[in-house]
Amino acid sequence: MSWVSGSNAALLTDLYELTMAASYHRRGMNGAATFDLFVRDLPPRRNFLVVCGLDQALEYLETMSFDADALSYLESLEMFDAAFLDHLSGFEFRGDVWAMAEGELAFAREPIVSVTAPLIEAQIVETFLLNCITFQTMVASKAARVSIASGPRDFSDFSLRRDHGADAGLKAARAAFVGGAASTSNVLAGRFFGIPVSGTMAHSYVMAFESESEAFRAYARDFPDRAVLLIDTFDVVQGAQRAVEVARELQPEGVNLAGVRIDSGDLAGLTRRVRAILDEAGLSDTQIILSGDLDEYRIASLISDGVPVDLFGVGTQLGTSADSPYLGGVYKLVEDQHGPKIKLSTGKVTLPGRKQVHRFIRDDQIQHDVISLREEEFEGSHPLMRQVMKSGERMGEREALADMQQRCLGAIEKLPPYLKKLENDGSYKVDLSVKLEALATEVGRALRVSHSS
Amino acid sequence: MSWVSGSNAALLTDLYELTMAASYHRRGMNGAATFDLFVRDLPPRRNFLVVCGLDQALEYLETMSFDADALSYLESLEMFDAAFLDHLSGFEFRGDVWAMAEGELAFAREPIVSVTAPLIEAQIVETFLLNCITFQTMVASKAARVSIASGPRDFSDFSLRRDHGADAGLKAARAAFVGGAASTSNVLAGRFFGIPVSGTMAHSYVMAFESESEAFRAYARDFPDRAVLLIDTFDVVQGAQRAVEVARELQPEGVNLAGVRIDSGDLAGLTRRVRAILDEAGLSDTQIILSGDLDEYRIASLISDGVPVDLFGVGTQLGTSADSPYLGGVYKLVEDQHGPKIKLSTGKVTLPGRKQVHRFIRDDQIQHDVISLREEEFEGSHPLMRQVMKSGERMGEREALADMQQRCLGAIEKLPPYLKKLENDGSYKVDLSVKLEALATEVGRALRVSHSS
**Which chain B residue lies closest to A215 (C-alpha atoms)?**
B23
Looking at residue B346, what is its pLDDT?
60
- In CATH terms, the fold of domain B7-137+326-350+383-424 is nicotinate phosphoribosyltransferase (3.20.140)
Distance CA B78, CA B276 (A): 72
DSSP characters over A20-83:
HHHHHHHTT---EEEEEEEESSPPTT-S-EE---HHHHHHHHHH----HHHHHHHHHTT-S-HH
- The Cα–Cα gap between A59 and A1 comes to 11
Domain A31-58+95-139+324-452 -> CATH class: alpha beta
Looking at chain A, the whole-number percentage of residues with pLDDT higher than 90 is 91
For residue A180, the model assigns a pLDDT of: 98
Choose among A18, A317, A394: nearest CA to A138: A317
pLDDT tens readout for residues A307-347: 999 999 999 999 999 999 999 999 999 999 999 988 766 66
How large is the average pLDDT for residues A182-204? 95
- B28 at the A interface (CB within 8 A)? no
pLDDT, tens digit, 9 for 90 and up, residues A108-142 = 999 999 999 999 999 999 999 999 999 999 999 99
Measured between CB atoms, which of B161, B162, B188 is closest to A11? B188
Closest to A357 measured CA to CA, from A36, A119, A96, A131: A36
Q: Does pLDDT of A3 surpass 60? A: no
Q: Within 13 Å, how many C-alpha atoms sit on residue A450's CB side? A: 14
Residue A94, number of CB atoms within 10 A of its CB? 14
Q: How many helices (H) and strands (E) does chain A have?
A: 18, 19
Alpha-carbon distance values, A186 to A36, A90, A198, A226, B87 (Å): 33, 37, 8, 17, 21
Q: What are phi and psi of A355, to 5 degrees?
A: -125, 170
The model's pLDDT over A21-60, given as tens digits with 9 standing for 90+, comes to: 999 999 999 999 999 999 999 998 999 999 999 999 999 9
Which of B23, B186, B226 lies closest to A14 in CB terms? Answer: B186
Identify the segments of chain B with pLDDT beneath 70.
Answer: 1-7, 344-348, 451-453
User: What mean pLDDT is predicted for residues A160-165?
Assistant: 97
- Ordered by start, the domain boundaries in chain B are 7-137+326-350+383-424, 140-319
Residue A389: what pLDDT?
Answer: 98
d(CA B167, CA B5): 12
Q: Which of B27, B142, B204, B450 to mutate to test the interface with A (most CBs of A within 10 A)?
A: B204
Closest CB from A16, A167, A188 relative to B167: A167
Residue B446, pLDDT score: 85
As a whole number, mean pLDDT of residues A170-192 equals: 97
- The answer to whether the CB atoms of B14 and A348 lie below 8 A apart is no
How would CATH label the architecture of B140-319? Alpha-Beta Barrel (3.20)
Q: Does domain A200-287 have CATH number 3.20.20.70?
A: yes
Q: What pLDDT score was predicted for residue A2? A: 39
DSSP state of B14: B
Please provide residue B314's backbone torsions phi and psi, each rounded to the nearest 5 degrees: -120, 120
Q: Quick check: A76 contacting B, CB < 8 Å?
A: no
Contact yes or no for B161 and A188 at CB 8 A: no
pLDDT at A84: 98
pTM over 0.80: yes
Measured distance CA(A53)–CA(A56) in Å, rounded: 6
Phi/psi for B389 (5° steps) reads -145, 135
Q: Please name the helix (run of DSSP H) or strand (run of DSSP E) that holds residue B441, with its range, or none.
A: helix B434-452
Please tell me the predicted confidence (pLDDT) of residue B1: 32
B331's enclosing H/E stretch is strand B329-336
Rounded to a whole number of angstroms, the distance from the CA of A422 to the nearest CA of chain B is 20
Is the CB of A341 inside 8 Å of chain B's CB atoms? Answer: yes
First vs last Cα of chain B: how many Å apart?
A: 55
